[in-house]
Amino acid sequence: MTISEKKRKRLILLAMTSSTSLIFLNATLLPVALPTIQQELLVSMSALQWIINAYLLATAVFVIAGGRLGDLFGHRRLFCIGVAIYSVSSVMGGLAESGWWLIMSRAIQGTGGALMSPAGMSLMIHSFPENERGRAIGIMVAIGSLFLSLGPFVGGVFTQYLSWRWSFWINPPIALYGIFMVLKAVPKSETQKEQFDFLGFITLSLSIFCLTMGLMQGKVWGWGSWEVVLFFLLALTFLLAVRGTERLAKHPFFRFSLFRTRQFLGGCLLIVCSQFLIMITVFWPLYFQKIVLDSPMVAGLIMAIGTIPLMLFAPIGGNLADRKGARLPLVIGYTLLILCFLWFAYFLSYQMVALLFPALFAFGAGMSFVMTPSTAATLSSVPKAQTGVATGMYNTLRFTGATIGVAILGAVQVNVQDGLFAKALKKTPETASLDPTVYEGLLNGLPHAVEASKSLEPGILNIVEQALIQASTVAFSMTNLVTAFVALIGFVIALVFFKRKG
């Protein structure tokens, strides 16, 4: 039975919204469960980090392949394959009995997400005309962002009342719904009879892998260590090799020529900035839980304040971009984000959550005006036959931006906190002889730090705790100042690379 064009678009939007929500939800849902996972599976801190890193690494490597494979074999088919892989790996993760089992499941999950994401975005671009595209993507991003913000709270509920395993088992029902909608509403995609550029894929994958490894391990090995320097040099070498393979291949895997389009280049730069900024949401819940509050669910509810403007302004940002062009909403969005991060940096020291509510609202509104217009304008600037590879390139830079954000913000947080904490202990005669590295994990409840604190007198312990809280608060403020600077860079890029419509 045939369906009307209006209903077909609605079903496609439902399918893409479900897949986007799936990815967004998992981005913030799992971190809340990590302490429980560590205790139950008896994994080390390094393995715990790789439970997160494995997903990012697999996604960054394979997301570009997802775009190109969609062009070659059909976006509808690849979307369904990616969702199926995501579902199966989620079941595997929920059944994990060891750290390595969970790490492997997360890597497979990232691969599925990498195939799903560019195929889904290409289906959106092909299914909606240009004058409807911004609004459609705005609705998708708004609902997906709602799941992103609710992730910490949902993860807290699962971990506290059910099991951390439900953080994985929630995925298959949502994924199956998306597959059903796509098969019902989307006709078989057109395919291109071109050869797959394996050499380009391998060199690009190695470049992304080396860059990601260098960024992820920088805090562990040291940013100036020979291992990190070697990975960065290899990343650059393989990237130059990708440029060489593009000139040799008949149908290159990665098209540097797309960067000649001013709007596409600007959009790619903006997605790196915006994803860098989004990674601050990894650190805000830590502040709410460790400095102000204790409950993950309460911290999740506070973060959910940002979902209200996301729901309100994402469609508005898309409509504004359709009528006026992307530049105006982008400028509005980055202005709000700059104000948000400066507000956070100033008021964190008061340790009063209510003072941060305006900044949380500004963050949600700012991201609404940034993400929707940027995505629609960037992917609309390339020829239809290349939207798959363009989407893959766009998403590769998206996850690269997230990786850079986690690495840099994490380094700022740790280095500032540890440095200030060590200075504070040395300034006080009662604590001058203490080793600060022993107590750095006290706020996080790390076993060795908690055990060591039991030998301290109550007065000394109070001095140590207050010094650590103060150092952590200043460090959180510094991370927000860094994001404010990156938001300023995004503001300038929006002015330079995007023009008003008409």
pLDDT at site 405: 84
pLDDT at site 342: 97
Interatomic CA distance for residues 89 and 26, integer angstroms: 13
Distance of CA 88 to the CA centre of its chain: 22
pLDDT at site 486: 97
pLDDT at site 135: 74
User: What is the tens place of the pLDDT at every residue in 235-288?
Assistant: 999 988 888 877 776 767 677 888 888 889 999 999 999 999 988 877 787 777
| Stronger pLDDT, 294 or 154, i.e. the higher one | 154
pLDDT band, residue 469 (cuts 50/70/90): confident
- Can you tell me the mean pLDDT for 422-427? 86
Determine the residue type at 74. G
| Stronger pLDDT, 455 or 249, i.e. the higher one | 455
294, pLDDT greater than 70: no
> Do 297 and 160 form a contact (C-beta atoms < 8 A)?
yes
pLDDT at site 44: 63
H-type alpha helices, 128-225: 130-161, 166-169, 171-185, 198-221
pLDDT at site 391: 75
Cβ-proximal residues to 69 (8 Å cutoff; 6+ apart), any chain: 78, 115, 196, 388
What token pair was written down for 187? 């006709």
What token pair was written down for 120? 């889904």
- Cα–Cα distances in Å, from 410 out to 282, 341, 345? 9, 16, 16
Interatomic CA distance for residues 324 and 321, integer angstroms: 5
307, pLDDT greater than 80: no
pLDDT at site 3: 67
User: What is the tens place of the pLDDT at every residue in 53-99?
Assistant: 778 778 877 877 776 777 777 778 888 888 899 999 999 999 988 88
| Stronger pLDDT, 351 or 330, i.e. the higher one | 330
The helix (H) or strand (E) run that includes residue 354 is none
Report helix, strand or coil for 314.
helix
Reference 386, options 206, 497, 257, 262; nearest CA is 257
Reference 217, options 238, 232, 205; nearest CA is 232
- Can you tell me the mean pLDDT for 102-110? 92
432, pLDDT greater than 70: yes
- Can you tell me the mean pLDDT for 356-361? 92
